[in-house]
Every structure is written in C-alpha cells, then in structure tokens.
Structure 1
Amino acid sequence: MSGKNKSAYPFYIILGTLVCVVGLSQLNYSFSYKDFQFRKLDMLSDLRTSSTSPDQQKLTAAGKDSSKLSVLDSTGAVVNNPAVPNPDHAHDYMSYTGILEYASPVPGDTIVGMKQFFAALRELKAGKRRKVRIAYFGDSMIEGDLITGDLRDSLQHYFGGAGVGFVPVTSVVASFRTTITHTFSTDWKDYHYKNSPPSSVTLGLSGHTFYPGGNSWVKYSPVKKPLLDKFQEVSVLYGPAASGSVTINDKAYTLSGSEPVNRLDLQQDTGQASVTLRYSGSAMPFYGVCFENGNGIYVDNYSFRGISGVELGHLSADMIHRMQQERPYDLVVMHYGANVLFRPELTDYSWYERPMKKVMDSLRQDLPATSFLIIGTADKSYRKADKYITAPGVEALLKVQHDLAAGHGTAYWNLFAAMGGEGSMVKWVEGDTVMANKDYTHFNRTGAAKVGALLYKAIMNEYSQAQQP
C-alpha cells in the first residue's frame, strides 16, 4: 500500500467514529449502570437561540401524560408541567427526592400542599401559637415508633416541645418500642379494624378502641432519652362516659362526657416518674393517653400492622371532628404500601386506587383546614431467578399514590426515590451498613432512623423555600 493511501487513515478513523456515534445516538436504550442512557446527537445545539433543549421539548410534548401534573413553586403558584425543568420549582415525581406540593383541583378549596402546616410552624416559631401536631398514619413500617421517633426528635430539637405524644392503651409492639415504657393488663378488650367491632363501638383515630375488664390497668413510664425522660402534660382520651371512675397514680377522677372523644387533662401530675391508670365501674371506651411538655411540635404515631390505608375509611366523621377539637392536627401523613405490594409482579392497582380515592375524599372533607402528605412506597425487592430485584409493582403503586396526592391537593414525598430508587432495597439489606431486614421490605432501626432523617430534611427544605419571598 502506498504512503499516500496510508495518510488517509486518520480521516477514515474519524469518519468511522463519527458514524458510530451518530448511529448509537439514535438508539432509545438504557441500562442500569448509573442510569446510563444513549441520547440523540444534536449537531446544532450550540447554535440554537432557544433555551429549551431537545429533551425538554420532548417532555413538553408529553405534557398530557398523567405523570406530568401541576405542582407549586415556593410561593404557591401553580407550575403547569413539572416534567419540564423550571427555575422556580418543577420536578418529575418518579425521581425527585424532595416534597412536591399540589393545589387542590376542587374550585374554592384553599388547601395547598403543606402550606397550612408551614404557616402553623411559622406561627409557632413567632410565639403566636403553643403547639403544632402531626398525625402520622402507617403500617408495620412505623410500628414501635420507627421513623416517627426520629422525625419527632429532629422536629422537637428545632421547633421545641418534648414528649412522645399519643400512645394507645395496649399495643402488640409495646415491648419493641424504645420511646416509652408501656405495660398493661391482659383483660382489656381491643376492638379494631380487623375483628369486626359491633356497630355500637366507635373506633378511635388509631383504629382501636379499648374496653376495660374487671381489673384493667395500664402503666406508662418515661425513658432515659432527651425530650422523653419525664411526663408533664398528660391527657387521657376516652369515649362516651356516664360516670366512670378512674384512678391515676392513686388519685381518683370521675370521667364524664357524651362526645365520641373526651379528654381528661392531668396537669397536676406534672413531674410524675410514671403514670398508672386503673379503671373500675361499668365498661366504657378508652383510646389512649397523650404525653406532651410545653410549647412545640408533636408527632403522634398511628401504626397498624398489616393494613393498606383503605381501612381509614371506617373511621367515623363525628369522631374525627371531635378529635380535631380535642387534639387538633395541622398535618396528616399517610405512609402505606408494603401491604399493597403483596404480589410483587402485579402492576394494576386500580383495585386499590378506587377505595383510596374515597378515603382521601372523606378525610379531606372531615379535616378541611389540615395539610396532608402522602408518602410513596419504599423500594420492595423479591427474588427472581438467582437475585433480588425491585418488584415491578413498585413503580405502578408510586404512580397511584402520586396521583392521589395530585388529585386531592396534598403534598407527596417519594420514599423510593429518596432511598436510592431502583435496586436500593438490596443495597440497604446487603450493604456494609445493614439498614433493612432480610424480607427486603422492612427497615431495621438503623434504616428507620435514616428514613426519618431523610423525611426531616425534605420537610425542612420545603419549609425553608416557603419562607422565601
């Protein structure tokens, strides 16, 4: 071959490389390593005067997709297409690790995401109100005060307050909980979601109502941890009572009240090392005892093992209204999903979405001035062939949960994205720091603490943005 022909080699190499690059850029293919994806080559990108990239143009064209719904910027203004990057506040719900806030689609409804909750926090910080409360509903993911205990601790260190909040009369996880010491007699009758209570029984907000037996008692003791080491403001929540008598730390009290929820405050017992409640008389309903200390923020854990959230539809509107009078909540958190993903390869969750829409309709109607936050499911892995992978149903369920938030003017936080997205549960189970159990579904204490920290960070980031002019 002549030297002249050899001199053309660089040209052929460059030309061949360019052809390969252009060809590969036309592929619509991605693989899991660090989310790598081929992208189409745009030869004129540097010459374009428009600020909209080809990828953004494709997202704009997809504006009618159900995953591209309106969110709010930090001032509460609606951003019409969250899929398109926006200098104010717009994100894809499947990948964004912060909190998305949605405006209610109902005409005249002024509830906007977490706006009311953040306004309450500002008033608390300014000394214009004494307390802010959060009702955190969930399944076994939060039982034993997991996640909520760490979230409460962080919020109270910043906003003030001390105390564990609401604790039921009995609990299947009392021995597992580390934020309070809780013991009780075995003769309490527990009516709840799963044992078909009679129509005469009104379930409490926890999904339980407790009736005493002949010699029923319950004892609560503080634990040696910051903000949890003493009881000061103690409140007993109970149902309709004609003239029941309860002894608390050897002091007798007469219970009265015909409302679905009544409250007995025990300010005079300030400083007691423990609280022991004994009941005598005809059976009457009890819900639980609340522990608070001073002005600040309180997080009540309403865990119920094995439920999906649909069960909240069994709660009485009268009970909710009365509870809001006796113990008002500024934010309701709904954290479900583990029990919905019982068939990992199932991807049609219309059977779940329909009743949950009714639950959300009801709760938003019963708590019209309360903010809501829906937490998207955590990653859940299952064994396929010789390895664990993310269940196909996870993404499908996240879409349902996101659409529930967007359709009801609530906030939304994608826990799946926050913990790392696809395959993250495997890393949490098998990593150097073990943060989840071998069922590839539930967090251990270390993982729950991290989730609590991630949620606290997301809330505080959104709170800070809401502070900006």
Structure 2
Amino acid sequence: MLATLLIAAPAAAQTAYEAMAPLEPGTGVCPSGLCQPEGLQTFFTGLAMTEAGRRTRPVHVLQIGDSHTAGDRITGKLRVELQQRFGRAGRGVLPPGVPYDGYAPFHVAVGSAGWVTEIAPLQPPAGTASPRVGLSGARSTGAGDAVMGFELEPGSEATGVGVCGRARGPGPGLAIEFRGTIQALDFNGGGPEAEVCRSMAFGGATNDVRLRPLGDGVVIDSVRLDGAGPGVVLSNLGRVGATLRDLAARDEGTVSAELEAWRPDLIVLAFGTNEGFDDAFEPAAYEALLRGQVARLRTLAPGVSIMILGAPDGQRSGVAGGCSADGVRAPPPSLALVRDVQGRVAADMGVAFWDWHGRMGGDCSADRLALRAEPYMRGDRVHFSSAGSDWIGGVLAGDLLGAYDAWKATGNTGSGGAE
C-alpha cells in the first residue's frame, strides 16, 4: 500500500463537502464577478461540445498560482462542481511525487520513496540559475528501487498516465505499474537532456498507479492522471510564496512540451497575494511582466482561454488605525495596486478577470470572514479555512457556470465536428 511511501492522509477523507448556511458573495467591479467572459470562448466551446456529446477529449482547466492554488481546497471545490455537471475526466496534472511537507492534494494521495526532489527557488532575480523545471516548479530524479505512487479516490480512477521529463540514459527509462501489471514506457528523446512527454493507456480503470525508474538519472517534471472522458479535468499547480516571477522563470522547453501534451482549454493565473505584501512592489514592472506572461502562454498554447484571478483581500497585522475589528490589521497598500494592474491588463488583452476581492466582500473582508461563528478565513487573514475555501470555490464555480449559461443562451453551442 502507499502507506509505506509516507503518503499524505487518504484523499477520500479530505474531499467531503458539507452543506453550509449560504453567505451571499459581494458585488465587486465585474458583473456577476466576471469581467471579459468573452475571453473564455475556447473553454465555453469545449464545455458546450461535451454537453452535446460531440467531444470525447476532456476539457482541461489548468490553474497555476500561489498557496491558494497549492492547497487545492478552492480548486478542489471548483473541480467537484465542474465535474458534477460535465463529467469526471481524470485528476489531471500533479507535481512529481511529494514536493514539500504537508502536501495533500484532493482526490488523490501521493507517496514517494527513493526519488530526490528539487524545488526551484522562489522569486529568482533575473539571471539567477535555478533547476530546470516545468510548470510544477519541481523535478524528481530517481535511481535504483525508487517508487512514486498515486492512489485515487473512488470516482477519480485513472485510465491512463502521462509523464513529462527525460531518461538521461539508454533503455526505456520508466516502468509503469497498474492493475497488477508492469509495463515499460519509452522515456527517451532526441538526446539525454531532451524533454519528452509520454503517455500510456491502461485499458481499464485503476485507483493505484506507480512509477519506477529503469536506470539511474531518470527525471520526472510532472505527472498527468487521465480518466475516462468525456468531462472536465482540473489541474492545480501552486507553490507557497509564489509570484508571477516564478512562472516567468520556468524553463521554456519544458513548459512548451508540457502544454503541448496537456492541451489546456483554460489557463487560470492565480497570483497576486505575495506581490501585494511586497512593500517594494513596482506597478510598471509588474504590468510588463503580466503582459509578457499572457503573451507567452498564448504562444505556447495557441487558442487557449486565459483567466486572471484578481488578488483577494488580505490583512497585515501591526497597523495603527487598521480597518479590522481590533483596529490593528489592514490590507497592505500594494494589494490594491496589484488588482488595478491585473484588471487593466486583462481588459486590454481580452483576458477574463474574476474579481476575487469583490466577491469575498471587498476591503477588510478577510477580517470579517475570520470573525464569523464558522470562520471562513484563518487567523492570518490571508488564507481561507476549509469552510471558506468551500464557499469561495463555490462562488467561483457559480460565476463561471453562470457566464457559460449566458453565453449558451445567446445561441453559442460550440462549432465544428466531434473532437
């Protein structure tokens, strides 16, 4: 069992969403929370084709961001809501193994033994050398009897696996263990450092997948767990403390290979909190960086829909005359500057923008949510509690589905043949 690999707590115990007394979301600056919904054309078309039975390939949502994404609580709720309506099409992309202590994604338990995992440094200055990594921000190198395992909860079983990385030596490179069998996966590219993304179908569903290196020096950058389509798959790749600079530092060749293999329909950029707590934040530099990363993703994933999640409210303690109930907490001034840049860039570049700050209640809402009888924010006034994550993830899902239904009501039902 994966318990021998020092896995996180079983996923099934993490994903039970309980009904709560409804809390009405705030209004904010965008109608129904979402500005530029026309920027979601590719995503909406995929959903419509799925509903019409004309698409077998999963609709893939890829969210990249900071700790709000890494925790998978908000994305976990969004995943559940989308899959309940359109179908479960797999767990999606994951980092290679266990990237940090306490890693506990929803819908899957992960274990690793014998793999050496490297994490890219946070917010690297320009020109700083860092490990060659893809969008997960991590890589794992295996040798000998190393094993990496994934145990999926009922309803999220895998019917195939995709792996990105490189073998760095002769031979197949990887062994995939599933349904009581072991099969070799060719993991070699045009050279020992060439990034490859390979996949294998299982011929049936399994809840237990394991990866073993065949030879020393095998590198895994990311793992994708496929399900039996059609439906939606939602991948969350987040890092505690991450900023948009971390995304910009990801290796271009690795990211290009990953996006070509993953074929996302919607990329969600969920950065901004850590930039907002940076007293040295420079709006002009951030705007240039954000524009550059949107353009980069459009080049590497042609036709993809992109949505920016505006930075949520957060509180810094030790502030005289703050807006919190105790008067000693307030949002850092840079948070509003971050949201202003995000909103303007999204509008100018035709990118969807979700007003997270407004939907959670606006300025100082982090304090109000933390003081509820059932707290929706943790004591740090930055991170959501489990109940709050369930709530705000549901608000995001409702806003997305509301925009999709409005798009369909105008006669848009997807075009083209089956996919």
Q: TM-score, normalised by structure 1?
A: 0.71
Following superposition, the deviation at residue 175 of structure 1 comes to 4.5
For the aligned residue pairs, the C-alpha RMSD in angstroms reads: 2.7
- Tell me, in whole angstroms, the C-alpha distance in 2 between the residues paired with 1:367 and 1:445: 33
Equivalent in 443, 456, 462 of residue 384 of structure 2: 443
| Contact 2:308–2:346, Cα closer than 8 Å, also in 1 | yes
Correspondence for 2:15:
none
Equivalent in 120, 124, 136 of residue 192 of structure 1: 120
Equivalent in 287, 293, 296 of residue 227 of structure 2: 293
1:252-309 deviation per Cα after TM superposition (whole angstroms, max 9, x unaligned): 40423415232121323x3334122221313132123222322111111111221111
Name the aligned partner's letter for residue 324 of structure 1.
Answer: L
Following superposition, the deviation at residue 162 of structure 1 comes to 4.1
Name the aligned partner's letter for residue 368 of structure 2.
Answer: K
Question: Are 1:434 and 2:375 counterparts?
Answer: yes
Aligned positions of 1:116-195 closer than 5 A: 116-130=42-56, 131-170=58-97, 171-172=99-100, 175-194=103-122
* Aligned-pair identity (%): 23
| Contact 2:152–2:207, Cα closer than 8 Å, also in 1 | yes
Correspondence for 2:213:
279
Name the aligned partner's letter for residue 74 of structure 2.
Answer: I
* Secondary structure in structure 2 of the residue aligned to 1:206: coil
Q: 1:317 to 1:288 in 2, by over 3 A?
A: closer
Correspondence for 2:186:
255
Following superposition, the deviation at residue 347 of structure 1 comes to 7.5
Q: 1:292 to 1:454 in 2, by over 3 A?
A: same
Name the aligned partner's letter for residue 423 of structure 1.
Answer: C
Aligned positions of 1:341-420 closer than 5 A: 341-343=276-278, 349-383=283-317, 384-385=319-320, 386-420=327-361
Following superposition, the deviation at residue 161 of structure 1 comes to 1.9
* Structure 1: runs of 5 or more not aligned: 1-91, 103-111
Equivalent in 259, 264, 269 of residue 324 of structure 1: 259
Name the aligned partner's letter for residue 176 of structure 1.
Answer: A
| Contact 1:313–1:362, Cα closer than 8 Å, also in 2 | no
Following superposition, the deviation at residue 180 of structure 1 comes to 1.1
Higher-Rg structure is 1
Q: TM-score, normalised by structure 2?
A: 0.79
Following superposition, the deviation at residue 330 of structure 1 comes to 0.6
| Contact 2:33–2:358, Cα closer than 8 Å, also in 1 | no
Name the aligned partner's letter for residue 243 of structure 1.
Answer: G
Question: Are 1:213 and 2:167 counterparts?
Answer: no
- Tell me, in whole angstroms, the C-alpha distance in 1 between the residues paired with 2:388 and 2:400: 18
Name the aligned partner's letter for residue 54 of structure 2.
Answer: K
* Secondary structure in structure 2 of the residue aligned to 1:453: helix
Following superposition, the deviation at residue 428 of structure 1 comes to 1.2
Following superposition, the deviation at residue 186 of structure 1 comes to 4.9
Name the aligned partner's letter for residue 51 of structure 2.
Answer: K
Q: 1:332 to 1:147 in 2, by over 3 A?
A: same
Correspondence for 1:421:
362
| Contact 1:202–1:260, Cα closer than 8 Å, also in 2 | no
* Secondary structure in structure 2 of the residue aligned to 1:425: helix
1:72-100 deviation per Cα after TM superposition (whole angstroms, max 9, x unaligned): xxxxxxxxxxxxxxxxxxxx973644211
- Tell me, in whole angstroms, the C-alpha distance in 2 between the residues paired with 1:312 and 1:413: 20
Name the aligned partner's letter for residue 220 of structure 2.
Answer: F
Q: 1:200 to 1:356 in 2, by over 3 A?
A: closer
Following superposition, the deviation at residue 195 of structure 1 comes to 10
* Secondary structure in structure 2 of the residue aligned to 1:253: strand
1:379-431 deviation per Cα after TM superposition (whole angstroms, max 9, x unaligned): 01123224323333322211011112123221000100000112210111111
Name the aligned partner's letter for residue 234 of structure 1.
Answer: V
* Secondary structure in structure 1 of the residue aligned to 2:47: helix
- Tell me, in whole angstroms, the C-alpha distance in 2 between the residues paired with 1:381 and 1:325: 39
Name the aligned partner's letter for residue 382 of structure 1.
Answer: R
Q: 1:245 to 1:100 in 2, by over 3 A?
A: same
- Tell me, in whole angstroms, the C-alpha distance in 2 between the residues paired with 1:362 and 1:94: 27
- Tell me, in whole angstroms, the C-alpha distance in 2 between the residues paired with 1:292 and 1:459: 23
* Structure 2: runs of 5 or more not aligned: 1-26, 321-326, 411-419
Name the aligned partner's letter for residue 232 of structure 1.
Answer: T
- Tell me, in whole angstroms, the C-alpha distance in 2 between the residues paired with 1:191 and 1:257: 23
| Contact 1:204–1:319, Cα closer than 8 Å, also in 2 | yes
- Tell me, in whole angstroms, the C-alpha distance in 1 between the residues paired with 2:206 and 2:273: 39
1:34-57 deviation per Cα after TM superposition (whole angstroms, max 9, x unaligned): xxxxxxxxxxxxxxxxxxxxxxxx
Name the aligned partner's letter for residue 253 of structure 1.
Answer: A
Q: 1:175 to 1:412 in 2, by over 3 A?
A: closer
Q: Which moved more, 1:363-372 or 1:129-138?
A: 363-372
Q: Which moved more, 1:401-410 or 1:353-362?
A: 353-362
- Tell me, in whole angstroms, the C-alpha distance in 1 between the residues paired with 2:380 and 2:251: 35
Q: 1:254 to 1:364 in 2, by over 3 A?
A: closer
Q: 1:363 to 1:245 in 2, by over 3 A?
A: closer
